[in-house]
Structure 1
Amino acid sequence: MRSFCLLAFVVALLLPTQSFAANRDQHIIVVSVDGLAAYLLNDPKAPLPTIRKLAKAGSVAEGGMKVSNPSVTWPNHSSVITGVRPEKHGVLANGVLVRGAIDVPTVVDPKRDQQDLIRVKTIIDAAHEVGLATAEINWPCMRGSKSLDDSFPDVPEQVIHMTPRLRQELVIDGILADETQPSFAANSVVGKDLIWTEAACHLIRQRKPNLLFVHLLNCDATHHLLGAQTPAGYTANAYADSCVAKMVAATKEAGIFDKTTFIILADHGFTSTPKAICPNVLLRQNELLTVTAGKMSDAKIHVFPEGGIGLVYCTNPATAAADREKFRDLMKDKEGVAEVIFPDRFTELGIPHPREYNQSPDAVLVAKDGYAVAGTPIGEEFVVANTESKTALGSHGFISSLDKMNAPLVLSGNGVRTGETLKSVENIDVAPTIAKLLGIEFPSADGKALNAALSK
């Protein structure tokens, strides 16, 4: 008997203590409405009745939530689930940035697993470790995750990489036409948002996950094409709001509404970019890159565009320091250029130094508000209309200190205070807040739990 008690005591010491604290009756649904700028919450023309109702019943980030640099989709969704900025989690674009040999331009590869993209632990990993049910619908950088019970990842060929059980159920329910990628890809972005919403509702009703992440895309697509504060943009807002309403209704049907916390956010804001700067054109004119058959074939220096910034890559490590100086000189006093930032200031941006991380650029080109950074090396003019550069009329990707890049953050439901206004919020605060609600430890986060919003 004494030996048994001693063994039980030793086992208790070895087990992770947070497993006993995990709140298994807590459900959290995080919905990212891609491109829903924070300023739209206060725009009376934006029809967002469901999100505003949740906000009124809960807590809201005043002026919006500061996002990570670069203010694009995959890096910021990764900041939300890791609680750290790209300098630590490593996601700098919508995929892995692959540096080539000398004179070979850097390219992006989106067909990668979570382990290739995110360098740190996620809140999903932490929840899974203590036995909580986890799921995601269209969330970036989740392909191949070992911590998800159900996954419909935001990657190319996402139907192929979906968890088989979920794929089969969605076909049976008529949410997917069949189990093939082509039939899913044939849908419009609105149709895909509908499928992702119905898939999320299916999981809420059937699986009642403790932690569910959902990512909707139509707002972003519409704001890029036609602008955020336009009739089409407002229509996209209304549709996204109706998708959120369906998920709220699904929690009531599942009998878990009173146990659910809703977190509504976005990955970035939006601004209008009727003009574009074309740095690769200037680099071509100065014989620093070459175009063959209309495409960049080799480059000593080139710019990878990310909306309002450009990641500057110098392909020869031996001459990189001199080459980026040359690049800065070429950009000096050019229309539409705000600044060129060198690696000694990357800490300010929250991105890694190129000596520490191969995907990092050698410099960052920052455009002024109203100008996008174009990747094209074709043409003769440095500044052109967005229609000529084939850049979007609406853009993000700007330095996150631009208030227009702020994203909304609404927390509502179980465990959340009513009427609390949150100040100085960053998206890296979301993961530790989720950890606090779930009763689990997440010490790797640099963000802090938003305790002012929490009622317990």
Structure 2
Amino acid sequence: MKRLTDHLIVISFDCLSSLDFPMLKELPHFNELLENGSYCENVETIYPSLTYPCHTSIVTGNFPNRHGVINNTFLQPGMHSPDWYWHRKNIKGTTLYDEAKKQGMKTAALLWPVTARAKIDYHMPEIFANRPWHHQIPVSLWNGSFFYQLEMNVRFGHIRKGLSQPELDDFVLESTVHTMKTKKPDLLLVHFVDLDTQRHYHGFSSKEAASAILRHDNRLGRIIDALKETGIYEKSTIVALGDHSQLDHSKAIKPNVLLKERGLIYVNPKGKVIDWKAYCKSCDGSAYIYVKDETDSETKRMVQELFDYVVQDENNGIKRVISGEEAFQMGADGNAFLMIEAQKGYYFKEYFDGEYIDNITANDVKERRYTFASHGYSPKKDDYQTVFMATGKGIRPNVVIPSMRLVDEGPTFARLLGLELGKTDGKIIEELLKM
């Protein structure tokens, strides 16, 4: 298959929304990309619309029910900080970077989700020190390219302040620019989280979110300048995209409170979960309801009756209840017994103590117990689309794609690099490409 570009640079601006598009058109570097390239401001995300499933869908072209990353975090009932789907081994099937590597292409990825221990040449994975005895630098070094990360930390580690934003994205930017100039990868994947973080803790339309978009414009400009300085700009394709949007909320729903009251979650005197029959696993704007024993018909009956009753009153915060089979048809985890969707202004937490619904205060957000905005909602919600912009080699100029899906991006990227991802849920957006 003919290769359409020499270098593919995919920049993910986490939580970049279609609602941001008017602002993007007024910013110098996003505007440069839009004037010379093509775009879609109506990209349908996946279900559940969380960062790790989304980024896996981008590089596989498949929905979560096929690629296996069905949430950000694992089902670990009662664990204060569940482990995330950090590792490449959690993905079923192939990925864009796997196929590039097979063809001898030079690959790089910086903080791209679900890539820990992946076979990527220059690799700084997104993975956190999630246990008291862990330290962030050794955890990162062990799960990515050891000497490459060591060099990036020596050069730019002074910029970072742990996982805080915007310093983390600034560190990633400097590492990205240096990698492009010195390594010139055929495929580079980079993930920036500044905007997503600001929206979670300050709200969708906050001044902090607007400031993050301005910083992202500068980051995009630095990447474009680096390509030009390196002499590979004319041979490169630049893609800037989002993975999901966010919605504001002021109330947190805790379905596990109800499940515990009905004797379906067992807690010891110290408040630790010791066993469970049914459990609500949050996806923020939606949630899975799992039944531990697939043959336990009595628990299933109790759970079904509970949520059929709760959903009747909109003040309970649940917009709808769907079966595991229907969730599977929407691309989510069919192993769940039910899936529930939050009403506007609500989202889900896994806590099982206190009241069923908590009103969120500024102090709650400051303590990082709750947030002011979230994602994870159905991709069919109004004003919840994300964006896709591309320019450079292999891209037709000034094409406006009316609508597309997140799962279409992977097959399109593969076609640009002359690769195949096999049979995917997504399709190649051929209108974008100079064949």
Using structure 1 for the length normalisation, give the TM-score.
Answer: 0.85
- Could you tell me which residue of structure 1 aligns to residue 332 of structure 2? 351
- Give the deviation of 1:74 after TM superposition: 0.3
Code of the residue aligned with 2:20 in structure 1: it is L
- Could you tell me which residue of structure 1 aligns to residue 19 of structure 2? 39
* 8 A contact 1:76–1:267 mirrored in 2: yes
* 8 A contact 1:37–1:406 mirrored in 2: yes
5 Å-filtered alignment, 1:14-25, equals 18=1, 21-22=2-3
47 and 278 in structure 1: CA distance in 2 versus 1, 3 angstrom threshold = farther
5 Å-filtered alignment, 1:101-116, equals 108-110=82-84, 112-115=86-89
In 1, Cα distance between equivalents of 2:188 and 2:415? 16
* 8 A contact 2:16–2:195 mirrored in 1: yes
In 1, Cα distance between equivalents of 2:127 and 2:121? 18
1:258-302: CA deviation from partner (whole Å, max 9, x where unpaired): 111111111210111112222122222333223443444432222
Matched, 1:154 2:110: no
- Give the deviation of 1:405 after TM superposition: 2.9
1:233-268: CA deviation from partner (whole Å, max 9, x where unpaired): 101111122111111111011111111111111121
- Give the deviation of 1:111 after TM superposition: 6.8
In 2, Cα distance between equivalents of 1:219 and 1:160? 28
Q: Could you say which structure has the larger radius of gyration? A: 1
3-state SS, counterpart of residue 176 of structure 1? helix
Matched, 1:331 2:288: no
- Could you tell me which residue of structure 1 aligns to residue 68 of structure 2? 90
* 8 A contact 2:160–2:167 mirrored in 1: no
3-state SS, counterpart of residue 338 of structure 1? strand
- Give the deviation of 1:377 after TM superposition: 1.3
Using structure 2 for the length normalisation, give the TM-score.
Answer: 0.89
3-state SS, counterpart of residue 371 of structure 1? strand
- Could you tell me which residue of structure 1 aligns to residue 131 of structure 2? none
- Could you tell me which residue of structure 2 aligns to residue 342 of structure 1? 323
- Could you tell me which residue of structure 2 aligns to residue 428 of structure 1? 407
5 Å-filtered alignment, 1:236-275, equals 236-275=212-251
- Could you tell me which residue of structure 1 aligns to residue 266 of structure 2? 290
In 1, Cα distance between equivalents of 2:68 and 2:31? 34
- Could you tell me which residue of structure 2 aligns to residue 383 of structure 1? 357
Across the aligned residues of Structure 1 and Structure 2, the Cα RMSD in angstroms comes to: 2.4
In 2, Cα distance between equivalents of 1:88 and 1:187? 31
Matched, 1:393 2:372: yes
105 and 323 in structure 1: CA distance in 2 versus 1, 3 angstrom threshold = farther
- Give the deviation of 1:215 after TM superposition: 0.3
* 8 A contact 1:159–1:184 mirrored in 2: no
1:319-357: CA deviation from partner (whole Å, max 9, x where unpaired): 153243234234231322111111221233212421xxx
3-state SS, counterpart of residue 279 of structure 2? strand
Code of the residue aligned with 1:318 in structure 2: it is T
* 8 A contact 1:295–1:377 mirrored in 2: no
**Residue 67 of structure 1, aligned match among 29, 34, 45:** 45
In 2, Cα distance between equivalents of 1:121 and 1:108? 26
In 2, Cα distance between equivalents of 1:189 and 1:47? 24
**Residue 124 of structure 1, aligned match among 97, 100, 105:** 97
- Could you tell me which residue of structure 2 aligns to residue 79 of structure 1? 57
Unmatched 5+ stretches in structure 2: 129-138
- Could you tell me which residue of structure 1 aligns to residue 176 of structure 2? 200
- Give the deviation of 1:43 after TM superposition: 4.2
Code of the residue aligned with 2:104 in structure 1: it is G
In 2, Cα distance between equivalents of 1:242 and 1:95? 31
The ranges of structure 1 where at least 4 consecutive aligned residues each deviate by more than 6 angstroms after the TM superposition are 104-107
* 8 A contact 1:96–1:112 mirrored in 2: no
- Could you tell me which residue of structure 2 aligns to residue 307 of structure 1? 284
- Give the deviation of 1:112 after TM superposition: 4.9
* 8 A contact 2:45–2:386 mirrored in 1: yes
* 8 A contact 1:59–1:419 mirrored in 2: yes
* 8 A contact 2:56–2:114 mirrored in 1: yes
323 and 212 in structure 1: CA distance in 2 versus 1, 3 angstrom threshold = farther
3-state SS, counterpart of residue 447 of structure 1? coil
In 2, Cα distance between equivalents of 1:128 and 1:309? 36
5 Å-filtered alignment, 1:171-186, equals 171-172=153-154, 174-177=155-158, 186=162
1:368-387: CA deviation from partner (whole Å, max 9, x where unpaired): 1211112221213x333123
59 and 123 in structure 1: CA distance in 2 versus 1, 3 angstrom threshold = same
Matched, 1:373 2:348: yes
- Give the deviation of 1:440 after TM superposition: 2.2
- Could you tell me which residue of structure 1 aligns to residue 111 of structure 2? 138
In 1, Cα distance between equivalents of 2:17 and 2:214? 14
* 8 A contact 2:286–2:341 mirrored in 1: yes
